[in-house]
Amino acid sequence: MRQIMYLQAINEALNEEMKRDDKVFIIGESVQGSAFNTTAGLVQKYGVDRVMDTPIAESGIAGAAVGAAMAGYRPVADLMFADFMYCCADEVFLKAAMWHFMHAKKVNVPLVFKACIGGYARLSNEHSRCPSAMVMHHPGLKLVQPSTPYDAKGLMKTAIRDDNPVCFFYHKMLLPLTGDVPEEEYTIPFGVAEVKKEGTDVTVVATSFQVHQVLAVAAELEGRISVEVIDPRTLEPLDMETILKSVEKTGRVVIVDEDTERCGVGAEIGMQIVEKAFDLLDAPPKRVCSGNMPIPGASLEQYCLPSAQKIKAAIESLMD
């Protein structure tokens, strides 16, 4: 099977969906040239009316996407860095997420908010955040966090076809990652987690870039501790069934997510496991997340974000 990069997989998904449905258009800052090359080459194919470069105006971009979506279009609003979503919080969280409910299902908001997340590039607090928990927290927003090129392409296609607003968060460290991606068209449904590695001793639920950190640790522990790695792929809708099935097998679970620990993704998944599978647990759930602080840059970043060391320690601590 051919191997392509994660960023290329996203590009292919956008291209295919724009070709398939002329209601799809991209709007955002520097999307024609493409800040991360995920939208490169598209303006040449589809023109400036479907790949729209805007001024720096997140509220304008996000709000225009919401309006156009309500009026029957399917915009992909490219916010570049997920950190910039704070600039358009009203448009994302109150309007896009909630107007369908508020207006008794009389309006739909079929759009995608596309943005890169995550650290390890040492870009400091306002270019490194993963606002995953905040998105999960607001009812009405779907949340996609692919960890592989295959997942990225299939999930982006589904995101564009969904009649609801979807946050598509792709990790900046995964952009050059290559992986198997079929030539033939395919989509991946939301709410279906993938067991990225089977195991019997400990369940590790990992998101986005953390999937790869966890797989590396699992390989190191092979022979001593058998780790099962689950990638939810979408945090909303969240496939708890697959997670609980694994917990039933192992009785031990660690959640590894890069968003801030307090009230984070680990808090939500961990609590759901306790609520639904208390009797299946041999130990309390653990979480490895970013520290409860803004994300430092440069050489200090590594002490805040999840590390292989912290992941390994958490898994080992469950085996005592």
Partner 1 sequence: MKLEKEDLLKLYRNLARARVLDQLAIKMLSEGKFMGFYHSAFGGEAPGVGGTTFLRQDDYIYPHHRGHGIPHACGKGGDLQPFFAEHCGKATGTTKGMTGFHGCDPEHGMYGGGGTIGSAFPLSVGWALAAKKNGRGQVSVCFFGDGSMGRGTFHEAMNMAANWKLPVVWVCENNGMGQYVPIKDAYPLDDIANMASAYGIPGVVVDGQDVVAVAEAVVAAVERAREGKGPSLIECKCLRFRSHAEGIPDWYHAEKRSEEEVKELMKRCPVALYRNRLLEQGLLTQEDAERIDRELAEEAAEIERQCDEAPFPDPSVLENAVYA
Give the footprint of partner 1 on this chain (CB under 8 A): 25, 49, 54-55, 57, 59-73, 90-91, 94-95, 99-108, 110, 139-140, 142, 163-164
The span from the CA of 99 to the CA of 164, in Å, is 11
Nearest residue (CB) to partner 1, 162 versus 201? 162
Taking the C-alpha atoms of residue 12 and residue 153, their distance in angstroms, rounded to an integer, is 7
The tokens for 276 are: 């639904």
- DSSP letter for 295, please: P
Closest to partner 1 by CB, 163 or 222: 163
Check: CB of residue 36 under 8 Å from CB of residue 172: yes
Nearer to partner 1, 240 or 253 (CB): 240
Report which residue type is found at 269.
Answer: I
Task: Find the catalytic residue in 127, 137, 138, 171.
Answer: 127
Whether residue 127 lies in the annotated active site = yes
Yes or no: say if 142 and 88 are a contact pair by the CB < 8 Å rule. no
Min separation Cβ 60 and partner 1, Å? 3
CB of 106 vs partner 1, minimal distance in Å: 5
Q: How far is the CB of 188 from partner 1 (least distance, A)?
A: 18
What is d(CA 135, CA 268) in angstroms, rounded to the nearest whole number?
Answer: 12
Closer of 49 and 279 to partner 1 (Cβ): 49
CB atoms within 10 A of CB 248: 13
When the beta carbons of 144 and 277 are compared against partner 1, the nearer one is 144
- Could you tell me which residues come within 8 angstroms of residue 223 by beta carbon, excluding any fewer than 6 positions away? none
| Separation of alpha carbons 205 and 266, rounded Å | 9
Q: How far is the CB of 59 from partner 1 (least distance, A)?
A: 5
Q: For the CB of residue 129, give the shortest distance to partner 1 in the complex, in Å.
A: 21
DSSP state string for 107-165: S----EEEEEE--SS---GGGS--THHHHHHSTT-EEE---SHHHHHHHHHHHHH-SS-
Catalytically annotated residues: 127
